[in-house]
Structure 1
Amino acid sequence: MRNTECIVEVMDEEWIALILEAKKLGIDKETVRTFLNQNDMKEQLVKQC
């Protein structure tokens, strides 16, 4: 299984709701990505797989 597939499986409705809310507020994807990377969320998601 590729990492991208693994990350998608870990995402749940709350994550999707948060991302959609950020989009609704006009927060671009790079800002969200930077925030997640600063908080090591990406690493935690990959490690759980």
Structure 2
Amino acid sequence: MFVKISEQPSLYNDLEKKSVREILEDINTEDQKVALAVQRAIPQIEK
């Protein structure tokens, strides 16, 4: 089944109303999630 990712609920609605700082903080928060996910996956990747 094809899922349109742009149609899914978002934690970041109304981006046009946010300041540049708020958007940068949101981006940074999402980037941190990637690093944590990789860290948790290292034992599985290592096998």
Q: Same fold (TM over 0.5)?
A: no
What TM-score, normalized to structure 1? 0.34
Of structures 1 and 2, the one with the larger relative CO (CA 8 A, separation 6+) is 1
Highest CA radius of gyration, 1 or 2?
2
Taking structure 2 as the reference length, the TM-score comes to: 0.35
Q: Which structure features the higher share of helix residues?
A: 1
